[in-house]
A and B are shown apart, each in its own frame.
Chain A
Amino acid sequence: MANIRTIIVDDEAPARDIIRHYLGELEDIEIVAECSDGFSGLKTISSMKPDLVFLDIQMPRLTGIEMLEVMTEKPVIIFTTAYDQFALKAFELNAVDYLLKPFHKRRFLDAVSKAAEKIRSGAETKEPSGILENKPEPSSPVNRIVVRKGSAINLIPVDQVKYVEAQDDYVMIHHASGKALKQQTMKFYEENLPPKDFVRIHRSFIVRVQEINRIEPYEKENYIAVLKSGEKLPVSRAGYKHLREELSF
């Protein structure tokens, strides 16, 4: 049986050390790479296509969660972190297990055998359809959006987002220097964009309030928001109510 090819992604050296040490005793696991930040982790994972990844969450440049959001072929993931508030989300992202630091060796080996079973059985890692239907987190609003364009990874600062448009299972993010497609739900953005800046004006549109130039009536009981850029977006009746509340007019 082929070895399980494994990558460790963690920004703290002692944290990588202990995983490496625990894995050293297992014969069928081969560590093919170690990375200390999200960007290099993502790059290494897509080039080496490992079977298993130990993934920290809080890391420079890209968080573990953001890495998973833009990964196309997902290996089996075991999250290792001290941030227990991410546990729920990690399972939604189809992580096979979630190790809270510091973890006991027994607990670690359990997680590895769970992962090995999944890899050996060839069970396909489910596609992330609907998995990013996140529970609202107690943390602050998102500050950047990570998107993939071909093989390049771009970080769009939320400051530059003009509006978000629903497109089937994806959302189109219209920002200051173009637009980008991302697999994510409108609900996620409704709950995680800064609420004082963005309003959901329609089932398919969340718009930055400051981008709205004027609101014009359109047919009966419907409205259209005209943006500063001249683009016109439909406003539903509920959206009109949201706008009124937000702008208090």
Chain B
Amino acid sequence: MKHPVLENRVRLVVWWLAWLFLAAGQSLSYYFAYGSLVIFSIVDPVLSLIIYSALALSLWYPFAFINKGEATILSRALNLVITGALSVTLWVLLSKLLIPLILPGEENFEEYWKATFYYRAGSGIFIYCLTILTYYLFVSLTNLSEKKSREAKLESLVRETELKMLRSQINPHFLFNSLNSVSSLTITDPGKAREMVIKLSEFMRYALSKKDEQPVSLRSELENLRLYLDIEKVRFGDRLSTEEKIEGACLDIKMPVMLLQPLYENAIKHGVYESTESVRIATTVKLIDGYMEITISNNYDIVPESRKGTGTGLSNVARRLELFYGNNASMNISAENGIFTVRLYIPSECK
């Protein structure tokens, strides 16, 4: 850890000012001890506290060393007491040596020294404790703010990762079944096979290239979804049909990329996969009071499925809406009379 005072000029000034206060206090106490105001009782505290201040600055290093690692409280306390005893002794000795050198020719020094000795030692111990407490205060404040900034960083990282994770992953079954259709079409209808490979490539390029979370227009989302549905129509033939009713005013509204794809995938998984009847997926988009309402519905076979879906597709879409728009977007789901409907409300001014 860096030195808390030396690393910052403002703190250094505050540090010295604080010592001035201490010097004033000490000078007062020496006055009481010695009984009369002499030049010493002003000059001595100032000088001795300049010495102590330098000493206290260097105390940071043993302090940081003592508190490093997993030492027990007892051993820390013991180390601090020893350091304190040593530094106070050192300070008293230095004062005794240096002050007569700086203020020579004072005859009363011996007497003065004796009279103020206990006050000097006491204030040394007091200042030592104060210094250590200041350092402790500083360390805990630093830890707190570091922890806070770490948490904030972590939170934004988690959010970013979550958004990426929630982005529709291309279902491997879709990919492999489509490739199987291509493999088959190369024999029965090579032209159609080529068309399908191109559509599949375009779809994959769109799905894979948009790595960042930059919003895209409804127009490009729909174009991409048409590719997806066209590919599925080759697999399922008459069993899948689609219908679109899109208000032109909505086409340039921005939205999260690949937001709708899981909803269509759901319609195919629970609609087309499970039904021998033809399944129709209808998409309606319109503006209502500043919101874009996207409705995707499909008919489905009411016979229970072999295994129930886990609902991850739908909950991922809901979670993405929440991360993107906060409370300003919503999704509702209904299943009535063999029709499954998902409705999204997305703010339209997010252009």
B142 CB–A CB distance under 8 Å: no
Minimum Cβ distance to chain B for residue A132 (Å): 15
Expressed in whole angstroms, the Cα–Cα distance for A82 and B180 within the complex equals: 9
- Tell whether A100 is near chain B: CB-to-CB under 8 Å: yes
Partner of B305, one of A12, A15, A21, A143: A143
Known: A143-B304, A143-B305. A83 touches B173 (CB 8 A): yes
Within 8 A of A (CB), among B266-308: 273-276, 301, 303-308
| A101: interface (CB < 8 Å) | yes
User: With A83-B173, A100-B176 given, is the CB distance from A14 to B234 under 8 Å?
Assistant: yes
**Chain A interfacial residues counted at CB < 8 A:** 35
One of B176, B184, B273, B307 near A17 (C-beta < 8 A): B184
Looking at chain A's contact residues, is the secondary structure mostly helix, strand, loop, or mixed?
Answer: loop
- Give the contacts of A57-84 with B (CB-CB under 8 A): 58-63, 65-66, 82-83
Given the contacts A37-B276, A61-B303, A143-B306, A17 and B177 also touching, CB distance less than 8 Å: no
Which residues of A (136-178) have their CB < 8 Å from a CB of B? 139-144, 155, 157-159
Within A63-116, which residues are at the interface with B (CB < 8 Å)?
A: 63, 65-66, 82-83, 100-103
Query: By the criterion CB–CB under 8 Å, are B177 and A60 in contact?
Result: no
Question: How far is it, in angstroms, between the C-alpha of A227 and the C-alpha of B235 when the chains are bound?
Answer: 48
Interface string of A200-231 (1 = CB under 8 A from B): 00000000000000000000000000000000
Please encode chain B, from 73 to 114, with 1 for each CB lying within 8 Å of some chain A CB and 0 for all others.
000000000000000000000000000000000000000000
Whether B187 and A18, one on each chain, are in contact in the complex, defined by CB atoms closer than 8 angstroms, is yes
State the CA gap A101–B180 with chains docked (Å).
6
Most chain B CB within a 10 A radius of its CB, from A36, A63, A102 = A102
Contact present for B306 and A63 (CB under 8 Å): yes
* A-B pairs with beta carbons under 8 A, tally: 89
Contacting residue for A155 out of B239, B304, B310, CB 8 A: B304
9 A-B pairs with CB atoms under 8 Å apart are A12-B177, A14-B185, A18-B184, A39-B276, A83-B173, A142-B307, A143-B305, A144-B305, A155-B303
Q: Please give the residue numbers on chain B whose beta carbons come within 8 Å of chain A beta carbons, in ascending order.
A: 172-173, 176-177, 179-185, 187-188, 234-237, 239, 273-276, 301, 303-310
A15-B177, A60-B301, A63-B306 known; 11 new pairs, CB 8 Å cut-off, are: A14-B188, A17-B184, A17-B188, A36-B276, A60-B273, A60-B275, A62-B306, A82-B173, A83-B173, A140-B308, A141-B308
Smallest CB-CB A-B distances: 8 pairs: A82-B176, A18-B184, A101-B180, A14-B184, A102-B180, A14-B181, A102-B183, A143-B308
